[in-house]
Amino acid sequence: MELSVVVPTYNEGRNPCLVADALKTVFEDRDFEVIFVDDSNDSESVSILHELEATCDFVRVEHRTDAKGLGTAVVRGFELAQGELIAVMDADMQHPPAVLLDMLVHMRQGYDIVVPSRFVPGGDDGGLSSFRKFVSWTARILGQLALKRVRAVSDPTSGFFMMRCSVIQGVKLRPIGWKILMEVLVRGHYDRIVEIPYRFQSRVAGQSNMSIQEQWNYIKHLIKLVSESPEDRRAYLFAGVGVSGVLINMLIYTMMVHLHTELWIASVLSGSLAMVSNFVLNDRLTWHDSRNGALLKRFTKYAMTSLVGIGINAGVLAVLAYKLHVDYLAANASGIVVAMVWNFYVNSFWTWSTRRRQVSVTVSAVALERSNA
């Protein structure tokens, strides 16, 4: 089968019929299916869906009574899907079905995931109230700050996208709450994403199910994704280890000064011990899954990297403080930041051997022309 469209529904009344009709028009005689994964507790919505399933051969309905929640409903849809390609969309016509054709065209060009976006030129988020826009903006920014893989995508919190089924093959998806696309972006296997503009519509009927509870779920989901995504976890662990190093350095330094050690000896010793402790923690935690070669070799590389880092720190400081007359504390802080970035990347790919994975994100001009026409 070419395509499965997964549509989560919750008390949507007759809206799914509109979606099914529209998809039928859009895809005519293509080989596709629509899977409604329904958590409704209003019996009318449920019976409308079953009626739809009985009258449309491309419609399948999975009604759940034991589970609830948008994210898990979509994952259930993924399990049932038989298509080479899988799309996800809402049941309330806020995601224009015609855009699916544009998405198909892009999948055929070899992209792994197509994300229609409200926030690329030609896109429009018109269907939301200004309050919802603000909430949605905050959620997006938080996600993009926290997760590297989400950063390059302009509309990662939407529930509208298409992907090859291989993206999620063998991947355990465990979303909390609504943001299934973020779950796919963080855990999925893919190389190329394309974004195409689309106009978010107003709901045809009924009300949004967004709630405070869902905002809270989103925060929990973010924390979970960060802690379970190797590339993000690493950056945070590295920063945490760095902070622990500063504390250890200060502690030992203070103790030694109290014991009347020469200041410079105290400084060199506490600095070295902090470096050793940073190395051990990074080796055990930050890059525990990327160790190879002898411990001593890793330590030597780590020490060399740190040494160059100290040089970089001093260099940045010198340029800022002496040449540009920046405040001495700000100059040092800038030096530390640059050195930390240096340390992180060199350690990632040299001291330890983290696999590099380049994901490309393109904004498509093809769809741009079409939507402007």
For Mn ion, the binding residues (CB under 5 A) are 90, 92, 94
The kind and range of the H/E element at 256 are helix 230-258
Indicate which of ligand GDD, Mn ion, none lies near residue 270 (CB less than 5 to 8 Å, by partner kind): none
**Which residue among 4, 5, 6, 9 contacts ligand GDD (CB under 6 A)?**
9
Integer Cα distance of 148 and 368 in angstroms: 26
Is 150 near ligand GDD (CB under 6 A)?
Answer: no
Nearer to ligand GDD, 98 or 263 (CB): 98
**Which residue among 30, 68, 220, 288 contacts ligand GDD (CB under 6 A)?**
68
Integer Cα distance of 262 and 267 in angstroms: 9
User: In the bound complex, what is the minimum distance in angstroms from residue 59's beta carbon to Mn ion?
Assistant: 20
Is 178 near ligand GDD (CB under 6 A)?
Answer: yes
Integer Cα distance of 94 and 74 in angstroms: 17
For tokens 């380049």, what's the residue?
Answer: 358
Nearer to ligand GDD, 102 or 155 (CB): 155
The long-range contacts involving 239-246, CB below 8 angstroms and separated by at least 24 positions, are 239/340, 241/278, 241/281, 241/282, 241/285, 241/286, 242/278, 242/340, 244/277, 244/278, 244/281, 245/274, 245/275, 245/277, 245/278, 246/274
Per-residue binder mask for ligand GDD (CB under 6 A), 79-118, x = binder? -----------xxx-x------------------------
Which residues neighbour 164 within 8 Å (Cβ) at sequence distance 6 or greater? 84, 85, 86, 107, 112, 113, 190
**Which residue among 13, 69, 177, 245 contacts ligand GDD (CB under 6 A)?**
69
Nearer to Mn ion, 53 or 92 (CB): 92
Indicate which of Mn ion, ligand GDD, none lies near residue 17 (CB less than 5 to 8 Å, by partner kind): none
User: In the bound complex, what is the minimum distance in angstroms from residue 112's beta carbon to ligand GDD?
Assistant: 21
